[in-house]
């Protein structure tokens, strides 16, 4: 059984520096951990964004760049001071360049228990097609 | 640091042993236990009255989280489902972790285990543990004779 006493840094990657656009709000920004998987119909993105509610998430798709952003309210409890800190609290930000045509009208996203799930359906034109070859 | 042949006048064998021990410790722990981020990460906030433990555990069923409190020790146990693929699906990227987790946290003081409250919302677990009455700081007024 292990017991911790000292402060350990947990690697929660900061999104900071590389952002193309600067944010107006100050505070730390983190990269959500993600899983991406695909099937023949769509691309699925799953992102861990603890502390983000349905109303705090913003998703945009512009010129093949999908951006997800989640706002997290800082935990401030009156009369309490931090005694031990392993993770930083801040907003989440991550963007992806989509290399395939997506049917924008059918994109679906759900958020439950701090996990964002996005389904990006492939555009009909981009789906692999079987081309029959006729014998002459 | 090798010091064969040159023993300086202020050579202290005890200091040397201490150094060796420390370096040895680093070496051994470096080999045996690579620094892995602990899951789930926790933050602890305190006041004179209570201690609040928050933890980021996105995507779990609160029923699957087990909390135990004894004295000044809090144990968080649970499992996060492993992401699994259905037929015809394939991975592009995998960063999220799944599986069983278990953490023991030493609190700064004994707590009233019967009055512990916990809630789970938006993937964040928050536990409020009131300080045990016997442990609360007491003001003692000094009387003048």
Give the tens place of pLDDT for each residue, B18-32. Answer: 666 666 555 544 444
pLDDT surpasses 80 at A75: no
Confidence grade of residue B141 (pLDDT, cut at 50, 70, 90): confident
* Mean residue pLDDT across chain B: 82
Could you check whether the bond before residue B40 is cis, i.e. omega within 30 degrees of 0?
yes
Q: Is there a contact between A33 and B95 (Cβ–Cβ < 8 Å)?
A: yes
Q: Which two tokens stand for residue B53?
A: 């433990």
pLDDT tens for A86-133 read: 999 999 999 999 888 889 889 999 999 999 999 999 988 766 677 788
CB contacts of A53 in chain B (<8 Å) are: 122
Q: Give the per-residue pLDDT at A133.
A: 86
CB contacts of B44 in chain A (<8 Å) are: 82-85
Domain B42-82+98-135 sits in CATH 1.10.10.10? no
**DSSP E strands, A4-133:** 29-30, 33-38, 42-48, 57-62, 65-70, 81-85, 91-97, 108-112, 115-121
Q: What is the number of CB-based contacts under 8 A between chain A and chain B?
A: 121
CB contacts of B51 in chain A (<8 Å) are: 83
Total-model pTM: 0.74
Q: Give the per-residue pLDDT at B51.
A: 95
Confidence grade of residue B3 (pLDDT, cut at 50, 70, 90): very low
b/e A61-87 (16+ beta carbons within 10 angstroms → b):
beeeebebbbbbeeeeeeebeebbbbb
Closest CA of chain A from B144, distance in Å: 33
The domain at A28-74+88-125 falls in which architecture?
A: Sandwich (2.60)
A80–B104 C-beta distance less than 8 A: no
B60–A33 C-beta distance less than 8 A: no
Residue in A49, A4, A78 with CA at minimum distance from that of residue B52:
A78
B91–A115 C-beta distance less than 8 A: no
Q: Give the per-residue pLDDT at B30.
A: 45
pLDDT tens for B82-116 read: 888 989 999 999 999 888 999 999 999 999 999 99
B123–A48 C-beta distance less than 8 A: yes
Closest CA of chain A from B140, distance in Å: 22
The partner residue sitting opposite A50, judged by closest CB among B52, B91, B124, is B124
- The interface predicted TM-score of the complex, written ipTM, equals 0.77
* Mean residue pLDDT across chain A: 83
> Residue A120: phi, psi to the nearest 5?
-110, 105
Q: Which two tokens stand for residue B41?
A: 């990460």
A114–B59 C-beta distance less than 8 A: yes
For chain B, which residues make up each domain, given as ranges? 42-82+98-135
pLDDT surpasses 60 at B67: yes
Q: Give the per-residue pLDDT at A24.
A: 67
Closest CA of chain B from A4, distance in Å: 6
B42–A86 C-beta distance less than 8 A: yes
The partner residue sitting opposite A49, judged by closest CB among B58, B94, B95, is B58
């Amino acid at each position: 059984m292990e017991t911790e006493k000292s402060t350990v840094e947990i690697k929660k990657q900061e999104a900071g520096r590389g952002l193309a656009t600067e944010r107006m709000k100050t505070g730390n920004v983190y990269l959500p951990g993600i899983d991406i998987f695909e099937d023949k119909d769509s691309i699925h993105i799953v992102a861990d964004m603890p502390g983000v509610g349905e109303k705090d998430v913003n998703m945009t798709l512009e010129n093949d760049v999908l951006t997800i952003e989640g706002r997290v309210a800082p935990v401030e409890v009156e009369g309490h001071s931090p005694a031990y800190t392993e993770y930083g609290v801040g907003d989440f930000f991550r963007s992806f360049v989509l290399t395939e045509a997506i049917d924008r009208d059918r994109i679906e996203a759900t958020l439950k228990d701090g996990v964002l799930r996005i389904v990006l359906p492939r555009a009909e034109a981009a789906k692999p097609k079987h081309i029959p070859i006729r014998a002459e | 640091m090798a010091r064969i042949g040159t023993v300086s006048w202020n050579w202290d064998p005890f200091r040397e042993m201490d150094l060796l021990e420390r370096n040895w410790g680093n070496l051994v722990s470096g080999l045996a236990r690579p620094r892995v981020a602990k899951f789930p990460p926790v933050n602890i906030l305190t006041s004179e009255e209570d201690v609040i433990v928050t933890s980021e555990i996105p995507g779990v069923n609160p029923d699957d989280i087990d909390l135990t409190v004894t004295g000044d020790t809090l144990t968080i146990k649970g499992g996060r489902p492993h992401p699994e693929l259905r037929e015809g699906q394939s991975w592009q990227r995998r960063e999220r972790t799944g599986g069983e987790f278990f953490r023991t946290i030493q609190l700064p003081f004994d707590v009233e285990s019967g009055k512990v409250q916990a809630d789970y919302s938006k993937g964040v677990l928050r536990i409020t543990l009131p300080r045990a009455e016997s442990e609360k700081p007491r003001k003692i007024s000094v009387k003048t004779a």
